[in-house]
Amino acid sequence: MVGSTEGEKKTAKQLIQAIDEEKKSIEFKMLEGDLMKLYKDFLITLHIDTKDGIDLVTWTLEYETLHDDVEHPISLLSFFIDMTKVIKNHHLQKARIG
């Protein structure tokens, strides 16, 4: 995964830890990269709920910092918003073709 936070390019090596098609969720465990310089553990879960024909995307971040002075990863919010837009556009294009 490559993303940008606060104007800086960041990288992360990750493992898809779980895929649950019934619950429409995917878990990504971070293994290496910029995040792991600050966090002992970092798990990202993408979950999609469908209500009244509308897909609602929820990103959940579970993490443990290496030190007490490490801030919460708020700078990742823009990355997840952008990623959600990419997923949305992909599905809209797929719906038009299919």
Per-residue pLDDT tens digits for 47-88: 999 899 888 889 999 999 999 999 999 888 888 898 889 888
Q: What is the C-alpha separation between 40 and 25, in angstroms, rounded?
A: 23
pLDDT of residue 5 exceeding 80, the answer is no
In a domain, 39, yes or no: yes
3-class SS at 11? Answer: strand
Give how many domains the chain has, as a whole number: 1
Tell me the CATH number at 38.
3.30.530.20
Q: What pLDDT score was predicted for residue 63?
A: 95
Tokens of 5: 């936070």
pLDDT band at 46 (very low <50, low <70, confident <90, very high): very high
